[in-house]
Structure 1
Amino acid sequence: MHIVDQRQAVRRVAGARLISLAGSGAAFAALAYVIYHLTGESNTWVAWTLLLTIGAQGVFVSVASWLGDRFERRRVLVITDLCAAAGFGVLMFMRTPGQYLFVAFLTAVIESPIYAVSSAAVPNLVDEDSLSWANGVVAFGRNVGNLVGPVLGGAVVAVFASGSDPSIADLHTAAMWVFGLNVITFLVSAWLIGTTPGRFNDVRDEASEHHGAIAGMRFLVRDPVLRRIAIAWAVLLLGVGMSIVGEVALADEFDSGSLGYGLLASAWGGGAVIGSVLAQRRLRAANEYRSLIGAVLIAGLGFGTTAVAPWLVIALMCMVVGGVGEGVAGVAEQGIFQRRAPDDVRSRVLGALEAIVLISLALSFAFGGTVVDALGPRITYAIGGLTFLLAAAILAPGYGRMLDTEHRP
């Protein structure tokens, strides 16, 4: 495929990820807010909302990603987008917390293969030398979508269900508008993917040695480099998740309220956007693993220094630095997984990694509140910074393994 067509293809995939993630981020932020108020400000219901959306995706993604290795990936992505649009269309007309949660759970399961399958397709759209650039572009779209989505959802809810005690009718109206917006974003994403030039798969060999829905997890466990990265990610995210739970409490320590809370989350997301841009320009196959270790250390530095920041503005600067590290690390990790996993099992390998990521986050959310209550947000952030350092220590011995670039069974 011509270089211009390759770049167009990657940008369309990145655009699809940006749009769908912005819509989903808005929808799930609104869902948590609506359920919180419909249940009399129940944190337990919010916890169940996180568990049955983020947690459900973690459970099902490893199996659902098999679709991307069994069928044509473009078709899988388009059908998944259309089914997710239908799910949010149904969600528009739900009224009770139980109804919202049940349909949201089903929709989260439907969405679960999108990340792994779209990431597995990227190496087929570009030349080997352009893979790091392509991953950086897609990561830029993903990070912008994750940054914009919750803000958009909060803004729409504020328009239709303003105040600290909105009426049930206003909450339903706000939910309908946000979920309706997400229907549109999934339809646009399906159109972008469906009209992207290029192939989303290599030519399939029916004699593939990688059989079954859990073949990706088997491949990941047997590959020493991928296994090491997955363990490091699990350790790191256990600390990150606890710190996310403590963001509101940290904002309160700066006497900045909801504005400070939003700024802290946005600072990290904005840093990740910057990091993905840097990764487009600087990462290559030869330096991906070194960059991964360095980026994790930078992210840990930003995270840990947030714990001792005397003022909110300093904390925001630290979070931006941490986000930059996270943005670079995400692109480097993606490239390493894509290069080491053959096409016929790549969706399942990336799905296995996504499962580890989401389940680690879900576990950290489960006990994060207890840790924050017991130790306070600053110590929790310090622990988060230490988990980054521990992750870097786990990654470091794997550098020698990267000198051998052959795929491993």
Structure 2
Amino acid sequence: MFEALRIRDFRLLWFARLVSLFGSWLLVVAIPAHVLQLTGSLAATGLTLAAEFLPPVLLGPVAGVLADRWDRRKLMIATDVLRAVAVALLLLARDPGDVWLVYLALVAESVGTVLFRPAAQAHTPAVVGTGPKLISANSLNAITDGTVRLVGAPLGGALFAVAGFSALVWIDIATYLLSTLAITMTASAATKSEGRPGRFFAQLREGAAFLHTERDTARLLVVMTVFLAANASLSALLVPFGVRVLGGSLQIGLVMSALGVGFLIGAPLARRLDRMRSENLLGGALVATGVAFVLLFVSRSLTGALPAAVLIGVFGSAALVTAQTAVQRRTPNDVLGRVSAVQFTGEAVATCLGAIAGPAIAQVASLEAAAYLACGVTVLCGLVAAPHPVVRSTKTAHDRGCRSHGKVSRE
């Protein structure tokens, strides 16, 4: 089912992703809980989220240039070491006056993640190729992400109560070091662009020029950014909806679990539907996601909400995997780091804005009005993502160009 696992280097990269992500999610609940224990301040606790969101917004384009400029394997190793050191700073935060160390650690860890993600996304096609194994790799990564998110946060909360904050920090440090070791064991062939030193801003402009020329890829990134903003808005409304309509925190917890189950189903589904045109699959998945959100917000009990949540997870996951694979296949590898960084920066900005906009609109109008507006935006994204005549010719020309210049890596 997951052909990419037959490739040794990908197995090592997948293991590195699994352990480092698991360690990070163990701290998702523990860090804000620790800050709340230290300070007793909700504002100080909320700043932990701001500290993590700031670097992706500010450093995204820079990270993309570095991912294309430097050896990506070495960059991933260096950023894992950076993140291990950053997390270790959390061990020094023991009093209310030390809370600034928590923010410093979170910013430093986030900087490492901002540098790691575009390098990893650009490195994957170089390892598995751009054929069927690429969507196999992306589907497996999506399943891994969904499983870790489903298990990591509640397990971290339980361990925080039983073993304490320091134990979780040491586990996270260990996972980053294990990730470093796994990536070090991969093949040492350089994976970087051929740009000369001193051309940083020129390379930044080259990435922008590529997106200006390849309008279909740019349109795909815009569509997914808008979708993620709408999705963040809907996610922010789920908790008040669950409390007011479904009956309380237990019910919304079950809805969240149903979303996770759907997410795990959707990733392999996208892999099985890879023979379809990506525009058809993406457009259909986004429209179905919007409709499933409508079904959720019209529900008045778990009987309707749980199946709707599963459908949201299925189609939303399929859309994300399809979009990521399409970007990787359409983009030459020597600019893929920069394009991936644009994608991740848009994701961070969209998530921030959507999480703010949804509750704000609900406050002014109503929760239902805000939810249906975001659902409509999601459906519109699906319609915009639908095939256009220019998509076929552009994609075909790009594929011919990749083959003629030898840019498609080994299968």
- Shorter-normalised TM-score: what interval? 0.7 to 0.9
How many Å apart are 1:381 and its aligned residue?
Answer: 2.9
Contact 1:120 1:347 in 2 (8 A): yes
Q: Are 1:305 and 2:308 matched, yes or no?
A: no
**Which residue is 1:106 aligned to?**
108
Contact 1:125 1:199 in 2 (8 A): no
**Which residue is 1:69 aligned to?**
68
Partners of 1:66 and 1:283 in 2: how far apart?
A: 30
**Which residue is 1:194 aligned to?**
184
Q: Are 1:287 and 2:277 matched, yes or no?
A: yes
Q: Which runs of 5+ in 1 are unaligned?
A: 161-173
Q: Deviations over 1:186-222 (max 9, x none)?
A: 1122222222358572784759999434643443344
SS at match of 1:113: helix
Partners of 1:135 and 1:34 in 2: how far apart?
A: 34
Partners of 1:183 and 1:329 in 2: how far apart?
A: 33
**Which residue is 2:258 aligned to?**
267
Q: Deviations over 1:79-120 (max 9, x none)?
A: 111110111011122133333122211221122122211111
**Which residue is 1:346 aligned to?**
336
Moved more, 87-96 or 344-353: 87-96
Q: Deviations over 1:230-266 (max 9, x none)?
A: 2212222222222222222122124553333333333
Partners of 2:325 and 2:59 in 1: how far apart?
A: 23
**Which residue is 2:207 aligned to?**
216
Q: Deviations over 1:252-286 (max 9, x none)?
A: 124553333333333223212211111233314x5
Q: Are 1:53 and 2:25 matched, yes or no?
A: no
CA RMSD after TM alignment: 2.8
Q: In 2 relative to 1, CA 45–262 (structure 1 residues): closer, same or farther, beyond 3 Å? A: farther
Q: In 2 relative to 1, CA 370–41 (structure 1 residues): closer, same or farther, beyond 3 Å? A: farther
Moved more, 97-106 or 68-77: 97-106
How many Å apart are 1:313 and its aligned residue?
Answer: 4.1
SS at match of 1:325: helix
SS at match of 1:309: coil
Partners of 1:213 and 1:30 in 2: how far apart?
A: 37
Partners of 1:205 and 1:41 in 2: how far apart?
A: 48
Contact 2:89 2:102 in 1 (8 A): no
**Which residue is 2:155 aligned to?**
152
Q: In 2 relative to 1, CA 76–40 (structure 1 residues): closer, same or farther, beyond 3 Å? A: same
Please give the residue correspondences for 1:30-41 in structure 2 after superposition, counting only pairs within 5 Å.
30-41=30-41
**Which residue is 2:135 aligned to?**
132
Partners of 1:4 and 1:392 in 2: how far apart?
A: 29
**Which residue is 1:16 aligned to?**
16
Give the total of aligned pairs. Answer: 392
How many Å apart are 1:293 and its aligned residue?
Answer: 1.0
Contact 2:4 2:128 in 1 (8 A): no
Give 1:242's match in structure 2, choosing from 233, 240, 254. Answer: 233
How many Å apart are 1:41 and its aligned residue?
Answer: 4.8
**Which residue is 2:408 aligned to?**
none
How many Å apart are 1:121 and its aligned residue?
Answer: 0.9
SS at match of 1:212: helix
How many Å apart are 1:376 and its aligned residue?
Answer: 4.6
Partners of 2:391 and 2:375 in 1: how far apart?
A: 26
Contact 1:65 1:113 in 2 (8 A): yes
Partners of 1:175 and 1:221 in 2: how far apart?
A: 47
Moved more, 57-66 or 4-13: 4-13
**Which residue is 1:252 aligned to?**
243
Contact 1:135 1:331 in 2 (8 A): yes
TM norm structure 1: 0.86
Q: Which runs of 5+ in 2 are unaligned?
A: 403-411
SS at match of 1:33: helix
SS at match of 1:246: helix
Contact 1:305 1:382 in 2 (8 A): no
**Which residue is 1:361 aligned to?**
351
SS at match of 2:186: coil
SS at match of 1:385: helix
State, as a whole percentage, how many aligned pairs show the same letter: 25
Q: Are 1:28 and 2:28 matched, yes or no?
A: yes
TM norm structure 2: 0.85
Q: In 2 relative to 1, CA 346–77 (structure 1 residues): closer, same or farther, beyond 3 Å? A: same
SS at match of 2:277: helix
Partners of 2:375 and 2:189 in 1: how far apart?
A: 41
Q: In 2 relative to 1, CA 221–36 (structure 1 residues): closer, same or farther, beyond 3 Å? A: farther
SS at match of 2:92: coil
